[in-house]
Structure 1
Amino acid sequence: MRGWPAVLFLLLLTPAAAAAQTAAPPAATPVPVYGFEVVRTYPHDRRAFTQGLAFHDGELLESTGRYPSTVRRVRLEDGVVLQSRELDDVYFGEGLTEIDGRVVTLTWTSGKAFVWDADDLTLIAEHAYAGEGWGLTDDGARLILSDGTPTLRFLDPLTLTETGRVAVTLDGRPVSRINELEWIEGEVFANVWHTDLILRIDPATGVVTGVVDLTALMPDRSGLDPTDAVLNGIAWDAEGRRLFVTGKNWPTLFEIRLTGPR
């Protein structure tokens, strides 16, 4: 991969693609790599195993995993949890998005989605869906779900019936471990599990059009579990055009501005 370390590129490949990568033709155009500037930092609950993050009406909506998993409203300025709902212990919480005043959250392997009122987190409905649930976002008309494979699935927001899917590729190769998602001005931004990278994905084609390198975002991770306390959580304030990122059990939420590409 031109423009960034080959080891980061290998992290993005499925095992089969990694094995075949020497035989693949070179990319015609390098995928741009973006850096960042930290605009501001905010406290984040270190107990929050962040799985989904969204910005709504001046607050953060967040879903957490492990047991008990939660969905919560969080005050941006100081990280205070204003309201929290716990899932039954049989459910491991995953991605989250807010659409038309409803918060939809996924579960990892239970095939169950929950729908909550965005104002008070009252449970409104439950739906079944096929496969695993990892990340979730929406484009205003469709839900967009990741499941750890190189696929984004599009779902009806009211029934969670699948309406389409697209394969995610970087330089023509499939990208696995796509995790938390956020819709930002016509693109899907996606965390890649166990990397410090965010992909910018064209939702129509699945092609990765850019990579955001957040390796230097939080260099001191002493006291954090290197196995699980990974970058995960992207929220976009469309009105203020602010981008927020955090990680699982991180003590800090970062407002960042993208720079580059380089």
Structure 2
Amino acid sequence: MNKRNLFVIITLCSLIFSCGSNADTKKKYFSIKTDDNKTKFQLGETVKASIVNNKKIEIDSVTFFLGTIKLKSASNNTLEEKIDTEKLGKHLLKAIVYYDGKEEDVYKKLTFLNNVSPKLYKYKIIAEYPHDQNAFTQGLEFNGDTLYESTGKNGLSSLRKVNYKTGDVIAKTAIDKKYFAEGITIVKDKIIQLTWQSKEGFIYNLNTLEKTGNFSYNKSKEGWGLCNDGKHIYKSDGTEKIWILDPDTLTEKSYIEVTTHKKIKSKFNELEWIEGKIYANTWQKDGIAVINPKNGGLEAVIDLSGLREKVTQHSDLDVLNGIAYKKDTKQLFVTGKNWDKLFEIEIIK
């Protein structure tokens, strides 16, 4: 290698390292410290935070935010905020430090958890009904005495009206084989249906099952389960988030994160709205989670172990998935993917 080429290489390396070192030239003078460096807080606890100022710079004032919500600062530019009405899950605490005519933004990641452990419920079988063994159940919901069901898998996906007492399929709409259908919910005279990874959902006429429209996911990457409370639609996507959708536009406006008293949980599948709570199948688990829709607290788990053994065992048999509640009679029904039975159960608290 001649000297000229060596000089060019050295010069290029210097430029690369120089650019890398200048990627973040703004030096941070401050940071946020919580008491005992704590980052996880349960409902009822108080977040106590202060500004670390190692350079002893004279601070004019500090403004704290939790997400976009401005918090009231305590004395000496510190923060004391009780966790009570906040949603559970991950939060970003932000402080804007004002000094010498300048300002600096600093952040700290926090996690808010429930303050009680989930209750454990059991079940009792009230009745058993026939169910199509070939139905890979993804969504289940009653409208009056008629059971509506969404089935999945590419090439096998469908939307159905079912006589729950006989298991007979009254009407059926096949879904294009490029889609893997997921959960459904009924809003007035419409059925809303998700697809898994296509980032697209469908809208149907409740009576005819005719497709009348579609919609796109704007924030979540996948579609898993759906339910609604008459005002809002709730959507699971396999993560810890349950999205809250605008019922008119079906856009994802906000979300809750499901948490216990110890950690954030995920993999919630089929959803059902029951008496003010979200009931959710947990993928690959023989149970149903009972979730507080206001803050995401996981309040109870219904242990349904043993139920899968009561259906015909075959090679395509898959997990528990499917919750349907008859509001008029307060009956609760569950099934699974490729199960040949639909169970009416009673929850034993």
- Give TM-score scaled by structure 1 length: 0.86
The one of 136, 142, 146 aligned to 1:59? 146
Aligned to 1:205, the other structure's residue is in SS state coil
Residue in structure 2 matching 1:248, options 337, 344, 347: 337
Query: What pairs up with 1:96-115 in 2 under 5 angstroms?
Result: 96-115=184-203
* Residue type of the alignment partner of 2:248: L
Q: Aligned runs of 1:1-262 on 2, under 5 Å?
A: 29-66=116-153, 67-130=155-218, 131-220=221-310, 223-225=313-315, 229-260=318-349
Whether contact under 8 Å (1:224, 1:250) holds in the other structure is no
Extract unaligned runs of 5+ from structure 1.
1-25
Q: Shift in Å at residue 218 of structure 1?
A: 3.2
Please identify, of 123-132 and 78-87, the stretch whose mean Cα deviation from structure 2 is larger.
123-132
Query: In the alignment, which residue of structure 2 is the partner of 1:10?
Result: none
Instruction: State the structure with bigger RCO (CA 8 A, min sep 6), 1 or 2.
Output: 1
Larger Rg: 2
Instruction: Give how far 1:119 is off.
Output: 1.1
Q: Alpha carbons of 1:223 and 1:88: their partners in 2 closer, same or farther (altered >3 Å)? A: same
Report % sequence identity. Answer: 40
Letter of the 2:211 partner, please give it.
L
Q: CA RMSD in A?
A: 1.8
Q: Distance in 1 between matches of 2:168 and 2:246?
A: 33
Unaligned regions of 5+ residues in structure 2, if any? 1-112
Aligned to 1:7: none
Kindly report structure 1 stretches of 4+ aligned residues shifted beyond 3 Å: 26-30
In 2, Cα distance between equivalents of 1:225 and 1:196: 18
CA distance in 2 between counterparts of 1:233 and 1:173 reads 25
Once the two structures are superposed, residues 34-78 of structure 1 have per-residue CA deviations (whole angstroms, 9 ceiling, x without a partner) of 111111110000000000000112011000001231000000110
Provide the C-alpha distance between the structure 2 equivalents of 1:121 and 1:27, rounded to a whole number of angstroms. Answer: 41
